[in-house]
Amino acid sequence: MKLAEHKNLKIAITDLPIKEKDKLLLRLIAKDKVLTEHLHFKLLEDESDLDYRKENIRHNIESQLAELKKLNAKEALAKVRKMITLVNHFYKVTKDSIGEVELKIFVLSVIPVEYKKSFFGYRDFGILFSSFYIKTTQVTINKYKKLHEDLQFDLAENLNQLLSKIYSSKLAPLAESSDLPKEI
């Protein structure tokens, strides 16, 4: 049920006494962890907290790099998905699109792209990893293109380094077939 479809409900909610609205609002917020964290960020944190959050994510990812190099493709895919999910959560909480693009470029740049094959199972996780990596790069480029041109200028060098890393690896054929640009 959408609130826009029920105009009478909307009017009734706005007519509620302030104490009752506050109780309802707090109950609703408590049911959504991301919303709670977003409101905490918006109401109680400042620019330095945003930088702290970004640095915390960078540190978390850097601490996993040594282990990541030892994994097979299946295990690496799971870890890298968690890293990207961490960045997506950062965006949901902060609504910082610049930070999201910056962090995704960072993640994609520092993680290795070649892993040992897993000999057990029927799936080729190397292909799944490669596909995930290229799709995540495409999504990042699309978000990059939506940023202001000054911000794009600041991130262009890192993004071009990422693209050159892709095209100088075994991912190049998949990147070409996915129409991933060679340079921004």
Query: Mean pLDDT per segment of 10 residues, for the chain of length 184 residues?
Result: 78 90 90 92 90 95 91 91 96 95 96 77 80 96 95 94 94 92 90
pLDDT of residue 5: 77
Q: Hey, how many other C-beta atoms are within 10 angstroms of the C-beta on 173?
A: 10
pLDDT of residue 109: 96
Q: Quick one: which H or E segment has residue 112?
A: none
Q: What's the pTM value of the predicted model, to 2 decimals? A: 0.86
pLDDT of residue 118: 63
Domain positions in the chain are 46-177
Q: For residues 60-90, b (16+ Cβ closer than 10 Å) or e, as one string?
A: ebeebeeebeebbbbbbbebbeebbeebeeb
Nearest Cα neighbor of 105 from 64, 155, 60, 173 is 155
Amino acid at 121: G
